[in-house]
Amino acid sequence: MNYPDWILGFPGGMLIALIAIVHVTVSHFAIGGGAFLVVTEKRAYGKNDTAALAYVRRHSKFFALLTVVFGAVTGVGIWFTIGLVTPEATSALIHSFVWAWAIEWVFFFVEITSAIIYATSWDRLDRKSHMLVGWIYFVAAWMSLAVINGIITFMLTPGKWLQTHNIWDGLFNPTYWPSLFARTALCVLLAGVFGLVTIGKKDGEARERLVRWSGMWMLAGSILLPAFIYWYFLKLPKFSKTYISERMIYVTHALNSGYACAALIGAVTLVFALWKPRWMRVPVVVLLVVASLGLMGSGEYVREFSRKPWVVNGYMYANDIALAEVPVLQQDGVAAKANFLLTTDTKSMEYGENLFTLECGSCHAVDGYRSMRQRVKGWDAAFATQMVAHLPMTKGPMPEFAGNEADREALGKYLASLNPPVDYGTITDANRVAVGAQVFAVHCGNCHTVNGNFRPLRDAFTNSTPDQVEGLLPMLDTMSTNMPHFDAPADQAQALAVYISTEANKSLPNPPASNQPGPPPGVK
């Protein structure tokens, strides 16, 4: 609420993701590739392999051009975008970890210097010194990962830091080691993949040998990665595991594409790199690079998403509002606290829209990405206003709404304005269950299923008649403070009751396990 909200028209997180995915891919290659260069150089000297030596010289130029320029500048790009999109979180991170970044900067400085020297001094250094520069590069590059890994993992598993605010507790947090090992495995894998890029087209025994050599790196990375990822998974917070294992369709998609990319890389490695290296042609290399981007992208997406609704777990929400700020904003209202509002007329639609961009816009677009228009279909202003008070109970990982009653009303009015009112038409015996299903989707489906996995109502309503269900509807908000008041017209209430009763009494081959997720993280 301190800073102006950069209104891009789409969630700013997408901009960060776009830059981060390419940066992360290149920067992991920048580490593994460093080791790849020196080890290949050493082998070439040892075996007096002139073809390998010519290759590694060529590869070092490509390596420097890709990592020193593109890798480094996209890294700065992440700094720029996080400052623009989540300034509060960036400020919190810089206040906690500026010395960690300063330490990382020393390694970065050594890294850039040694990369430039390594790539340009093939004829200006003796072999031993040249390899020494290569090793200096690799150690500096890996150390910069070792530092940054602490900050990235901190955001998901801050561990003891939440109590102590101690820099070392933050850096060496519960997922630090598994993440560092998993990332190192990725570095090895990507060293092999990018090693193929400069391998050249000229057929022959030397080329096949070099393809196999790259393949060995890819194989090593592919074998190590799953084990470390599993270790990482074991250390994740419970809520992250829940998202990953069952609840969120987005995470499931990302996980599946990640598995697919990894499997593809593994298969291509076995067939095209190790078994028939002659078949490793340009299209296959392109496929490998694309699959690597896919693998990195999926991995980063899962890691980011499994942290939601947080940007720093337990400290700050993804919409850049600190947990400690929420009660203040709920008490005083956004208009009293925010420095940069487009309007302070809390009754206006513009104010509601402004609240949407401020509090929801970091993860939701009106249309398109996690479309809000789709999610609030059928909501009227009164119902939307109530729903805003119960966000953490919804299926998605949502933070509490940080605002007072007037803010909720303004946001509710805006959300309701995104769709025309629903007209269910005349409800007859023939369409009653179908309409009931729609009413359920609007009024109950945000937080419940009947026979599904997410807070199923089956147990509560087995053996209930429609009349009994309908009798309960006016009392929902008195039964639980987590439920909104139900105030749809009588014919819709009746249709809803018939639907719930019918569904709950349906015989099922596998009735759902009673799964009542506790309150989401951070909600006391």
Partner 1 sequence: MTINVQVPSMDPMPLPGPVWLMTGLLLLVFTLHVLAMNAALGGGMWTLWNYVRGKKPEHPNSRRLAEELAKMLPIFLAYTITLGVAALLFVQVLYGRFLYSSSILIGGYWIMVIPLVMLAYYGYYYVSYTAVRGKSRTGLVAALSVLCLLAIGFIFSNNMTLMLRPEVWLKMYRAHPNGFNLNLHDWELWPRYLHMMIGAVAVASALLAHLGMLKLKKDPEYGAWLVRRAAAVFAITTGIQFLDGLWLLLAVPRDVAMVFLRDPVAGTVFGLALMAVIAAVMLMVLGSMAEQPNSLVYAGVAMVVVTVFLMTGMRHLLRQAYLAPYLDPGAVVVKPQTSAIVIFFVLFVGGLATVAVMLWKLAKYRKMQGAAGAGEMTI
Binding site for partner 1 (CB under 8 A): 2-9, 15, 19, 65, 68-70, 72-74, 76-77, 79-81, 83-84, 87, 90-92, 94-103, 105-110, 112-114, 116-117, 121, 124-126, 129, 132-133, 136, 140, 165, 167-168, 322, 324, 339-340, 342
- Give the residue with the Cβ less far from partner 1, 65 or 234: 65
Nearer to partner 1 by Cβ, of 128 and 202: the residue is: 128
State both tokens at 405: 């009653």
CB of 439 vs partner 1, minimal distance in Å: 38
- For the bound state, the minimum distance from the C-beta of residue 184 to partner 1, rounded and expressed in Å, comes to 21
| Residue 312 DSSP SS3 | strand
Nearer to partner 1, 5 or 400 (CB): 5
Detail the DSSP E strand segments found in 1-138.
none
Provide, rounded to whole angstroms, the least separation between the CB of residue 376 and partner 1.
23
Q: Shortest Cβ distance from residue 130 to partner 1 (Å)? A: 9
Q: Which is nearer to partner 1, 19 or 444 (CB)?
A: 19
The backbone torsions φ and ψ at residue 316, rounded to the nearest 5 degrees and listed phi first, read -145, 135
Query: Smaller CB distance to partner 1: residue 339 or 481?
Result: 339
User: For residue 166, what are the CA distances in angstroms to 13, 117, 158, 169, 462?
Assistant: 28, 38, 10, 5, 52
Element (H, E) at 393: none
Closest distance between partner 1 and the C-beta of residue 310, in Å?
Answer: 17
Q: How far is the CB of 46 from partner 1 (least distance, A)?
A: 21
- What is the distance between the alpha carbons of residues 51 and 43, in angstroms, rounded to a whole number? 11
**Measured from the CB atom, is 96 or 179 closer to partner 1?**
96
* Triad 92, 94, 99: Cα angle to 5°: 135
Other beta carbons within 10 Å of 71: 26
Q: How far is the CB of 175 from partner 1 (least distance, A)?
A: 20
Residues forming beta bridges with residue 310, ordered by sequence position: 317
Residue 394 CB, nearest approach to partner 1 (Å): 28
| Residue 271 and residue 279 in contact, taking contact as beta carbons nearer than 8 Å | yes
Q: Please identify, using beta-carbon distances, which residue of 168 and 259 lies nearer to partner 1.
A: 168
Paired tokens of 400? 């509490």
Q: Of the two residues 72 and 329, which places its CB atom closer to partner 1 in the complex?
A: 72
DSSP, residue by residue, 424-443: -----TTTHHHHHHHHHHHH
Nearest approach in angstroms of CB 167 to partner 1 is: 5
E strand or H helix that includes residue 188: helix 176-195
Question: CB-wise, 186 or 322, nearer to partner 1?
Answer: 322
| Angle of CA points 349, 354, 7, to nearest 5° | 135
SS3 at position 113: helix
What is the per-residue DSSP string for 435-503?
HHHHHHHHHTTTT-BSSSSSSB-HHHHTT--HHHHHHHGGGHHHH-TTSPPP---HHHHHHHHHHHHHH
CA distance 257 to 88: 32
Choice between 130 and 455, CB closer to partner 1: 130
Give the SS3 label for residue 463. coil
Question: Alpha carbon 156 to chain centroid distance?
Answer: 10
What is the smallest separation between the CB atom of 408 and partner 1, expressed in angstroms?
Answer: 23
Question: Which residue is listed with tokens 């997408």?
Answer: 14
